[in-house]
């Protein structure tokens, strides 16, 4: 097609999505950019995924860059200050993934409390005839604390309410909702049987779930992280799981994905999923459309559909 805007593409997309990208845009890889420096002057946009780092050095070398469109809601891998300073628009894919992430969170929590992975293995391995499966833990009646009650956190809270739990949340602002706001994270951990992490990654939240928070959660307490690995002190978490100073954890996100800390593999009281919060056909399709529509609308009309508002 004529006049396709020149994009730098960071990260891979499924073939069908790539075909749609290529129909409207002319994409170049980081390698192509490194091998043909003159290309830098032509690039007007970046298309990326929220798990890919967008290096500041690269953005600095693109004088005509006007927009960075990321596939995913997290933008902790994008140099936001630099983008703001340069007037570069950053877009993400909020809301369309809320249901999928909330569904995974609830599923992980129930699976952790009832130990479904082990129950499945127990049946397959023929152990049922020999002894009953160990008793597990109910969700009903538990106190659930949500760290980061945003778009996703609220959908998690709404889905948990019918289970008969007591909900409270921690965040920087009291949103004046039906659920109790707790400005002190340690107090929320101490008052919770289950702590769910759904705040954004980045500098402001790095390692906020540390050894002290885990100690406050206590030996009957469970942690669920569907946000980012960076929010949790992973070494402290592994130590707490090994020493059983918390009861268990369900993790979708980690430090150093996908080469995660293998000490986690040896632990029975942890449920591990491979960063699949938004990974359903329906949701990934909607995310791809929004990633592309942000770019299309921007180059056609000069405005983006879901720009990130810089704090
Ligand atoms: P939102 O921006 O809507 O919500 C974030 C919430 O976190 C807000 O309520 C905010 O409240 C709170 N928050 C922000 N900073 C802090 C802080 N320093 N301490 C405590 N709370 C804080 O984000 P979304 O709900 O759309 O997404 C949340 C995150 O989920 C994403 O950033 C992403 O990293 C992760 N995610 C993970 C996926 C997965 O596959 N596992 C998929 C999709 C998203 P306040 O401003 O009052 O502090």
Ligand 1 pocket residue status of 228, Cβ below 6 Å:
yes
Tell me which residues are annotated as active site: 228, 257, 275
Range 303-308 average pLDDT: 98
Per-residue confidence band for 2, with pLDDT thresholds at 50, 70 and 90: low
By DSSP bridging, strand 180-181 and strand 194-197 are unpaired
Residue 148 CA to ligand 1 center (angstroms) comes to: 5
* Reported ipTM: 0.99
pLDDT digits (tens, 9 = 90+) for 24-39: 999 999 999 999 999 9
Structure-block tokens of residue 29? 């890889």
The pLDDT of 285-294, averaged and rounded, is 98
The pLDDT of residue 204 is 96
Q: Is 145 near ligand 1, meaning CB less than 6 Å away?
A: no
Taking the centre of ligand 1 as the mean of its atom positions, its distance from the CA of residue 198, in whole angstroms, is: 5
Q: Is 252 in the pocket of ligand 1 (CB under 6 A)?
A: yes
* Separation of CA 49 and ligand 1 centre (Å): 17
Query: Is the confidence at residue 245, as pLDDT, over 90?
Result: yes
Q: What is the mean pLDDT of residues 262-284?
A: 98
Tokens of 39: 């290309």
Would you state the pLDDT for residue 311? 77
Pocket test of ligand 1: the residue of 91, 107, 148, 306 to mutate, having most ligand atoms within 8 Å of its CB, is 148
107 lines ligand 1 (CB under 6 A): no
Pocket test for ligand 1, best of 80, 200, 203, 229 (most atoms within 8 A of CB): 200
The reply to whether ligand 1 has any atom less than 6 angstroms from the CB of 202 is: no
Going from the Cα of 237 to the center of ligand 1, the distance in angstroms, rounded, reads: 20
Q: Which pLDDT tens digit goes with each residue over 39-79?
A: 999 999 999 999 999 999 999 999 999 999 999 999 999 99
Average pLDDT, the chain: 98
Q: Examine the pLDDT at 174 and tell me if it is beyond 70.
A: yes
Q: Tell me, what's the pLDDT at 137?
A: 98
């Amino acid at each position: 097609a004529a006049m396709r805007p020149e994009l730098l593409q960071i990260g891979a997309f499924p073939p069908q999505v790539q075909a749609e990208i290529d129909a409207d845009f002319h994409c170049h890889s980081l390698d192509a950019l490194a091998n043909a420096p003159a290309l830098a002057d032509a690039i007007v946009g970046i298309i990326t995924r929220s798990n890919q780092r967008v290096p500041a050095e690269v953005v600095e070398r693109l004088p005509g860059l006007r927009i960075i469109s990321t596939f995913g809601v997290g933008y902790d891998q994008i140099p936001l200050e630099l983008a703001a300073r340069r007037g570069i628009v950053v877009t993400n894919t909020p809301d369309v993934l809320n249901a999928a992430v909330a569904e995974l969170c609830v599923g992980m929590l129930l699976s952790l409390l009832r130990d479904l992975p082990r129950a499945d293995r127990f049946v397959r391995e023929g152990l049922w005839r020999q002894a009953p499966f160990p008793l597990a833990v109910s969700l009903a009646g538990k106190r659930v604390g949500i760290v980061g009650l945003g778009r996703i956190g609220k959908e998690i809270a709404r889905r948990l309410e019918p289970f008969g739990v007591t909900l409270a949340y921690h965040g920087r602002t009291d949103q004046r909702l039906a659920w109790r706001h707790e400005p002190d994270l340690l107090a929320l951990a101490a008052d919770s049987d289950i702590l769910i992490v759904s705040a954004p990654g980045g500098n402001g939240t790095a390692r906020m779930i540390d050894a002290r928070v885990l100690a406050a959660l206590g030996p009957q307490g469970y942690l669920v992280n569907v946000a980012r690995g960076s929010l949790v002190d992973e070494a402290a978490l592994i130590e707490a799981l090994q020493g059983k100073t918390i009861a268990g954890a369900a993790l979708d996100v980690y430090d150093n994905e996908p080469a995660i800390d293998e000490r986690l593999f040896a632990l029975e009281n942890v449920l591990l999923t491979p960063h699949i919060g938004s990974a359903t056909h329906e949701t990934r399709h909607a995310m791809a459309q929004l990633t592309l529509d942000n770019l299309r609308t921007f180059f056609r009309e000069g405005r983006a559909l879901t720009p990130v508002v810089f704090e």
